[in-house]
Structure 1
Amino acid sequence: MLARTTVRQASRLVSSSAAARTAASANGAKLAASSARSCSILSLSRSSAAASSLRASAVLPAVRAAAARFHASSRASEKDRSWVDKGVVTYAELKPETQAPSGNITIIDVREPDEVAQGIIPSAVNVPLSKFQTAFAGTGTGGNFVRDFGFDRPQFDDALIFYCRSGKRSQEALDYARAQGWWNSRNYTGSWLDWTANEEKK
């Protein structure tokens, strides 16, 4: 009788121990699953944060460019537009500026170097149209401008006159410059052909 009782007690202990191990194993599996879910959520959160950062870094330059154009436009509305509102530049208006430069106007030749080698309007500087968009990007600092073109990059409010051979490329330069914030700009539509024709009359 005592032996049977002892066997039953031992059997109960074994069953209880097995049940405890099973419960512990189940709890361990739950903890592991919970930990995996937490890691997955953390990983997704980090990925989402990284993606947001990448999107922000991609959008920021465009936002800055738009802001620069907006502020330039705001400045233009507050400035004296009497000079720029004269419209296209004529030979008669340009000639005195080349004889005695005021220092208030920058004349920019947008022809290519091989064309400039054949002659240039006195006191003009050269920024080829092929390099113009990079040189006059509104968000740029102009750090390499002096090295590349030999003069300081104009400020947004500076008075600029563009010319080329016949006025077409200089109009492109004018349109781009204004779009980037150089509102105080005009085009010498007659350009080099008109200049040389008038100079030859003398």
Structure 2
Amino acid sequence: MLRTSFVRTARTLPTRYTRVALAVQRPAISAAVRWNSNQAPASGKSPKTPEELAKKAAYEKHNDLQRDWDAKVLSYEELLPKTQSPTPSTWLIDVREPDETAQGMIPSAVNIPLSVLANSLALPATTFKEQFGFEKPKRSQEVVFYCRSGKRSTTASDVAKRNGYTNILNYTGSWLDWTEKQSSKPSA
């Protein structure tokens, strides 16, 4: 009996100490694994095929677009003068669907639904004019996007940037903000 208990104790002692030692070292091991997992692969292999190079270039372009996002956000007070005295160099584009524009539009705005915006901005100027009935905005002209609540106009700003437009403004208050401010404005 004494012999059996001695053997059992001898078997469990190293296991207990091993568990304690591992428990003490576990945070250090976890930190090392996390640190190493954030490092670049050590293989040093660079993409060689044209497909891999194209994927890498597209990925880098996407990251550059995200890094240098610079669409200025307009407030109601900044947009109001643009609607009261529109200029040919500024475009106010409503990206809501045509059935939504039946509620009304901001004065001097034109409608290009978000669902067709990307394809429309890629059209030649003559085809664009035939399809929409007005001139296509030039890539350097000021373009202001709005929608119902500001989400689609943000997407439209991104689409315009990807199509080469450089002077992009986003009225994030959009139609809801416009109607609220117009209804609370004292009538003259």
Into which bin does the TM-score normalised by the smaller protein fall? 0.5 to 0.7
Please report how far the alpha carbon of residue 186 of structure 1 lies from its aligned counterpart in structure 2 after TM superposition.
Answer: 1.1
Q: In 2, distance between residues paired with 1:163 and 1:96?
A: 16
In the TM superposition, 1:45-64 aligns within 5 A as none
Q: Which has the larger radius of gyration?
A: 1
* Equivalent in 71, 79, 84 of residue 99 of structure 1: 84
SS in 1 for 2:105: coil
Percent of aligned pairs with the same residue? 52
TM-score by length of 1: 0.56
Please report how far the alpha carbon of residue 142 of structure 1 lies from its aligned counterpart in structure 2 after TM superposition.
Answer: 3.2
Is 1:123 the equivalent of 2:112? Answer: no
Q: Which moved more, 1:148-157 or 1:122-131?
A: 148-157
Is 1:180 the equivalent of 2:163? Answer: yes
CA deviation map 1:16-58 (0-9, x unaligned): xxxxxxxxxxxxxxxxxxxxxxxxxxxxxxxxxxxxxxxxxxx
Please report how far the alpha carbon of residue 86 of structure 1 lies from its aligned counterpart in structure 2 after TM superposition.
Answer: 8.0
Unmatched tracts of structure 1, length 5 or more = 1-61, 74-84
Unmatched tracts of structure 2, length 5 or more = 1-53
Contact in 1 for aligned 2:157/2:170 (Cα 8 Å): yes
In the TM superposition, 1:2-151 aligns within 5 A as 87-137=72-122, 140-151=123-134
Contact in 1 for aligned 2:95/2:153 (Cα 8 Å): yes
Structure with bigger helix share is 1
Letter in 1 for 2:153: S
**Equivalent residue number for residue 157 of structure 1:** 140
TM-score by length of 2: 0.59
Which 4+ residue blocks in structure 1 deviate beyond 2 angstroms?
A: none
**Equivalent residue number for residue 169 of structure 1:** 152
Q: In 2, distance between residues paired with 1:86 and 1:174?
A: 7
Please report how far the alpha carbon of residue 103 of structure 1 lies from its aligned counterpart in structure 2 after TM superposition.
Answer: 2.2
Q: In 1, distance between residues paired with 2:97 and 2:71?
A: 28
**Equivalent residue number for residue 56 of structure 1:** none
Query: What's the RMSD between the two structures over aligned residues?
Result: 2.3
How many residues are matched? 121
